[in-house]
Amino acid sequence: MIGKLKGVIDSYGEDHVILDVHGVGYVVQCSARTLTALPPAGEAAVLSIETQVREDAIRLFGFRTDNEREWFRLLQTVQGVGSKVALGILSSLEPGAIATAIGTQDKAMIARAPGVGPKLAARIVAELKDKAPAFGTIDPALVKLSGAVEDKTAPKPVADAVSALINLGYPQAQASAAVAAALKVAGDGAEAPQLIRLGLREMAR
């Protein structure tokens, strides 16, 4: 099995790159984000590789980082997510954004990816909530607050503040993050108007 390739970019296709490794051209499928981050043809590149062996083909998928490859693998553990949909999600969102969306149960953010409808997005955030490899980068207070908002168990001032920010046009994940930051400043006993004011100040940074 191939785990990494280091070579020279030979050429690009719509959804793949041909990487020349000592005279052998490997066709490697990549997300749009990975393709745009790679150097021009003729320059050196290194890709983390996921090898998928089928009865009729061997396919190589390339990623800029091992973390991105782990997300590609993890996403495909969800029923209804194949390699094409997983690449679509990684094309739309970087790994950190996927982790945040799952940690805050932001189904709408996942649903932005091509091929992902509301039902599949809900399944992804539900099934991967306890499996995400990058949760260490997310503020635990944000995950807790977002879960409480989702379950309608958040204190009324907190729920009202998040709702107010959402009504102003901010995505739920961003609104929850701003209120979580506001709570750290104002304390658990803060009322909704103060949380809204501090939340708006946080998002203006």
- Please report where in the chains the tokens 């005279």 appear, as a residue: 23
- The mean pLDDT value for 51-73 works out to 90
> Furthest-apart CA pair in the chain: how many Å?
66
Q: Domain boundary at 63, 78, 107, which?
A: 63
165-187 residues labelled b (16+ CB within 10 A) or e (exposed): beeeebebbbbbbbbbbbbeebe
Q: How long a stretch of residues is the chain? A: 205
Average pLDDT, the chain: 84
pLDDT reading at 150 higher than 70: no
- pTM value surpassing 0.85: no
Same domain, 111 and 74: yes
Mean pLDDT across 134-151: 52
Q: Which of 120, 136, 152 is the last residue of a domain?
A: 136
Boundaries of domain holding 183: 139-203
Which of 34, 63, 92 is the last residue before a domain boundary?
63
User: Based on the domain organization, do 58 and 70 belong to the same domain?
Assistant: no
CA 64, 74, 174, 117 torsion: positive or negative?
A: positive
Do 41 and 58 lie in one domain? The reply is yes
For residue 139, is pLDDT > 60? no
Stretch 64-75: mean pLDDT, rounded?
A: 90
Select, from the ranges 31-40, 90-99, 133-142, 148-157, the one with the highest average predicted confidence (pLDDT): 31-40
Task: Kindly report the number of other CB atoms within 10 A of residue 23's CB atom.
Answer: 6
Same domain, 72 and 108: yes
98 and 77 share one domain: yes
Same domain, 132 and 70: yes
CATH at residue 20: 2.40.50.140
User: Are 152 and 113 within one domain?
Assistant: no
For the cut 50, the answer to whether the pLDDT of residue 168 exceeds it is: yes
**104 and 74 fall within a common domain:** yes
Report how many domains make up the chain: 3
At residue 136, the pLDDT reads: 42
User: Is residue 7 a contact partner of residue 21, using CB atoms and an 8 Å limit?
Assistant: yes
pLDDT, residue 160, reads 87
Looking at the fold, whether 55 and 104 belong to one and the same domain comes out as: no
Separation of alpha carbons 106 and 110, rounded Å: 7
Same structural domain for residues 74 and 132?
yes
Whether residues 97 and 51 fall in one domain: no
Q: Tell me, yes or no, whether 199 and 145 share the same domain.
A: yes
Pick from 80, 76, 149: nearest CA to 117 = 80
Question: What is d(CA 171, CA 168) in angstroms, rounded to the nearest whole number?
Answer: 9
Split at pLDDT 50, 70, 90, the class of 46 is: very high
